[in-house]
Amino acid sequence: MTEPFVHPYIPNTAPETRAAMLAAVGAASVDEFYADVPEALRLGRPLDLPEPLVAEQDLARHVTALLAKNVSTHEKLSFLGAGTYHHYVPAVVDEVIGRSEFLTAYAGEPYEDHGRFQALFQYQSLMAELLAMDVVNVPTYDGFQATATSLSMAGRMTGRRRVLVASDVLPAKLSKVRDYVRVHLDLEFVATVDATADVAAVAARLGDDVAAVWVETPSRTGAVEARLQELADAAHAVGAVLVVGTDPIGYGVLTPPAEQGADIVCGDIQSLGLHQWFGGAHGGFIAVHDDARFVMEMPSRLFGLATTDVPGEFGFGDVAYDRTSFALREEGKEWVGTAAALWGIAAGVYLALMGPQGMRDLGEVLLARTRYAQQALAAIPGVALGDGALHLREFTIDLSDAALTAGSVVAALRAQGIEPGVPLGEHELLVCVTEMTSQRDIDRLVAAVGGLVDRAGLDSGSALVDRRTAGLDTGSALLDRRTTPTSQEQYA
Q: Which of 28, 310, 458, 463 binds another protein (CB under 8 A)?
A: 310
Q: By rule CB under 8 A, what string of x and - marks binding of each residue 180-209 to another protein?
A: x--xx-------------------------
Q: By rule CB under 8 A, what string of x and - marks binding of each residue 132-151 to another protein?
A: x-xxx-xx-xxxxx------
Q: Is 266 in the site for another protein (CB under 8 A)?
A: no
Beta carbon nearer to a second copy, 95 or 443:
95
Per the CB < 8 A criterion, the answer to whether 121 and 304 are in contact is yes
Q: Is 416 in the site for another protein (CB under 8 A)?
A: no
Q: Is 388 in the site for another protein (CB under 8 A)?
A: no
Candidate segments 67-75, 205-213, 238-246, 448-456, binder of another protein by CB under 8 A = 67-75
Nearest to 350 by CA among 161, 33, 27, 94: 94
Q: Which of 369, 393, 427, 467 binds another protein (CB under 8 A)?
A: 369
Using a 10 angstrom Cβ sphere, with 0-12 exposed, 13-18 middle and 19 or more buried, the burial of residue 168 is: buried
Beta carbon nearer to a second copy, 58 or 473:
58
> Which helix (H) or strand (E) is 232 found in, with range?
helix 228-237
Q: By rule CB under 8 A, what string of x and - marks binding of each residue 54-83 to a second copy?
A: --xx--x---x---------x---------
Beta carbon nearer to another protein, 101 or 473:
101
> Which helix (H) or strand (E) is 186 found in, with range?
strand 186-189
Q: Smallest distance from the beta carbon of 10 to another protein, in angstroms?
A: 5
332 backbone dihedrals φ, ψ, rounded to 5°: -80, 180
Q: Smallest distance from the beta carbon of 90 to a second copy, in angstroms?
A: 6
Q: Is 88 in the site for a second copy (CB under 8 A)?
A: yes
Binds 455: which of another protein, a second copy, none (CB < 5-8 Å by kind): none
Candidate segments 87-95, 172-180, 276-284, 399-407, binder of a second copy by CB under 8 A = 87-95
Nearest to 146 by CA among 271, 273, 287: 287
Per the CB < 8 A criterion, the answer to whether 134 and 290 are in contact is yes
Longest dimension (CA), the chain: 87
Distances in Å between the Cα of 232 and the Cα atoms of 43, 243, 263 are 60, 9, 8
72 backbone dihedrals φ, ψ, rounded to 5°: -85, 180
Q: Which of residues 422-451 bind a second copy (CB under 8 A)?
A: 435-436
Size of the site for another protein (CB under 8 A): 226
For residue 224, what is the DSSP state? P
Beta carbon nearer to another protein, 320 or 385:
320
Using a 10 angstrom Cβ sphere, with 0-12 exposed, 13-18 middle and 19 or more buried, the burial of residue 72 is: exposed
Q: Which of residues 8-47 bind another protein (CB under 8 A)?
A: 8-18, 20-22, 24-25, 27, 30, 32-38, 40-43, 46-47
Q: Which of residues 348-387 bind a second copy (CB under 8 A)?
A: 353, 357
CA distance 389 to 410: 24
CA distance 115 to 113: 5
Q: Which of residues 449-468 bind another protein (CB under 8 A)?
A: none
Per the CB < 8 A criterion, the answer to whether 192 and 169 are in contact is no
Which residues of this chain interact with a second copy, rule CB under 8 A? 2, 8, 56-57, 60, 64, 74, 88, 90-91, 95, 100, 353, 357, 435-436
